[in-house]
Chain A
Amino acid sequence: MKARKIVGICIGVAAVLGVLTWAFWSPAPKNAEQQLVVASWGGAYQTAQRKAFFEPFEKEFKVHIVEAGTPDYGKIYEWQRSGAASIDVVDVETFFVFQAGKKGALTRLDRDLLPTASLMKSAVDDFGVASCAYAEVIAWNKKRNPGLSDLKWSDFWDTERIPGPRAFRDLPATTLEAALLADGVSPDHLYPLDVDRAFKKLDALRAKTKIVLWTAGSEPIEFLKDRTAVLSTAWNGRIRDAQNEGMPLEMSFNQATLDWLWWVIPKEAKNKELAMKFIAFTLRPDRQRALVENIPYGPTNEDAWTGLPEDKLRQVPNSPANMKRVIIRDNKWWAEHETELVDRWRQWKLGLGK
């Protein structure tokens, strides 16, 4: 009787252990080195990257791509100090490439592996290479504001014509340019930015209406949907994605700020060689076209333009037609003034120093 009890307990314990092992066991990759960790911005953009870059790269190079969370600039600096990075390739904004490159937090790229001859000159730096172009546009809900079209920044400031709250990204970049353009500064004479004038213009808007801020790319869509804001800045790809989902949103490329999204390799990344191969792969014309097919973010490889359909060209911010209407952000200027202006932006948000 006692022996049967012991056998029963042993079987029970073995069964529990078996279930737990099955539940938590994940097969180790055959070659542990053939794994690349990439961090990007999520949402529609990362879905497009998955289809255009990640999955084809996995097939062609027989490696496994692990998609980490959204890029955290603080962590990249932290890895520099600790000497160990958990992500191999990070998708970042332009100012960060210049700033972190200068601070020694990024790996110098091997230009021999990149198709530099066909890449746009402004899309290549020692520490990063741009994979696509996007724009921060003015967006609105056309169901609530049916009469609006082709808005520019002076319309954004016109609270009498279009009453209601406005939404900006919680950053001074683009917001200051927008304020100056709304105040009548010519796009050709925008840089160096007249910061005092820009903040004065922002004060004027704040006095007339409520201003809300967004940090995640999905927030402007929510704001426009639930009336938190009547007009909002937004990334053109996010608005296009919302339109594809049937949301009544509209956007304008008129005076939109054009910027690039860059691949960088943290200084302490484990798989630098594979990371370089991945970056070079995403810059191939066929992969660049594939990205545009999935999200209207423009290619940085000039060879990718051939074969793009007309309707896609209209949606892409750096297409020849749209390039005449957008403002190109001077990121070298921003990299130099970022810290000081971010503090000034905080001061403005808190309503200090008026």
Chain B
Amino acid sequence: MTNQNFGSADPVAAPALRDVVFRVATAAVPLLLLGVGLGLPLLTGLLDMAQLSHGGARLLSAVLAAVLGRTLLFAAISGGIATIVAWTFALITTGWPRSYRTLLLVLCVLPVATHFILRTYGLQQIFGAGGPMNSALIMTGLIVEPLPLTKSAFGTVMALTSWLLPVSVFFMYMVVRSVPRELIDAAVLLGAGRAAILRNVWLPQTTPGAMLLLTINFCLGYGTYLSPRLLGGLEDVTVVVLIGQLLNEGRSAQAAMVGTIATAIPLVIAAIVFLARRIHARSRKLLIQRSSEQCGSC
């Protein structure tokens, strides 16, 4: 065998270096695009805001912070309610006969066939101060004055949840259906009760699907416009409504900046969750490594 000279480069280190360069390049391109996409409107908006007086800029920042907080809250509450209701419904109906379940699915899809604006106006009529819901409550003597079911935070959450619910039920139904029946049969054969099957089979099997639905619902709810516009109260302004108002006032640079910040926030949240999970996994791995080393020495 002849000893071939490959130059000064280490033959083992070379592919590793290439790998690093490739990794950096693949990460850099999307990061650069993201940076330009988010950075440019942010910069334009900040420059535009600099033209406002100090008080004016502070005022807009305070408004933006409050609006972002409210939007996140609305998205989390409505997304959470829709996910939990859909999850519960899907789990309950697993024991139902097939024909009933089909009927349920048809009923779920039906509202989607009507436009969201129509459904929201319908809710406004039904739950409004003079609508059938308040009239019935007054007639039964439960209340004297109409409840603020519309033009309030409750109205916004209700409209948003009702928008998210049909598709959520459909989604969770498919998730529950994908659980292998053999697991349930095995649990029954092993003598598990209903509660034990729910705890040990249904919940662990369907939780990833429910988490995915929660994320989708949150994202949809985060971009809501019509629900707070039609059914929201004095304080129920969401980011998209704010953007619409700024555009209407000819403040497009500030609208772009608000849009950028609103887009960046879920990305930052997702990045923090991702990093936290990686740190957690790494520390767990280290812990296991250390304990195995300690075991080996003892």
Listed in ascending order, the chain A residues whose CB lies under 8 Å from chain B are 72-74, 76-78, 81, 99-100, 103, 105, 165, 206, 210-213, 215, 225-228, 338-340, 342-344, 346-347, 349-353
Contact = CB atoms under 8 A, between A and B. Distances in A.
A339 B249 contact: yes
B235 A350 contact: yes
A342 B56 CA distance: 10
A265 to B, nearest CB: 17
B125 to A, nearest CB: 8
B146 interface: yes
Interface string B116-155: 0000000001001111000000000000001010110000
What 4 A-B pairs have minimum CB-CB distances, sorted nearest first? A226-B130, A77-B250, A74-B247, A227-B129
A342 B63 CA distance: 11
Contact of A100 (B128, B242, B250): B250
B63 A350 contact: yes
Contacts of A342: 245, 249
A276 B133 CA distance: 52
Contact of B62 (A73, A210, A352): A352
A interface majority secondary structure: helix
Contact of B234 (A72, A212, A338, A343): A212
B248 A213 contact: no
Contacts of B67: 350
A215 B131 CA distance: 21
Given A226-B131, A227-B130, A343 B250 contact: no
27 contacts: A72-B248, A73-B249, A74-B248, A77-B250, A77-B252, A78-B252, A105-B250, A210-B148, A212-B151, A213-B234, A226-B128, A227-B128, A228-B128, A228-B130, A339-B52, A340-B52, A340-B53, A340-B56, A342-B245, A343-B60, A344-B59, A347-B59, A347-B63, A350-B63, A350-B237, A352-B66, A353-B62
Given A73-B249, A78-B252, A349-B235, A225 B130 contact: yes
B101 interface: no
Interface residues of B, number: 33
A195 B172 CA distance: 52
Contacts of A346: 63, 237, 242, 245
Contacts of B131: 226
Contacts of B237: 346, 349-350
A344 B63 CA distance: 9
B63 A211 contact: no
A346 B245 CA distance: 10
Nearest to A212: B151
Contacts of A226: 125, 128-131
Given A74-B249, A213-B234, A228-B129, 17 more contacts: A74-B247, A77-B252, A99-B250, A105-B250, A210-B233, A226-B125, A226-B130, A227-B130, A228-B130, A228-B150, A339-B251, A340-B55, A346-B242, A346-B245, A350-B237, A352-B62, A353-B62
B252 A228 contact: no
A347 B234 CA distance: 11
Contacts of B233: 210, 212
B130 to A, nearest CB: 4
A228 B151 contact: yes
Contacts of B242: 346
B127 to A, nearest CB: 10
A353 B245 CA distance: 21
Contacts of B128: 226-228
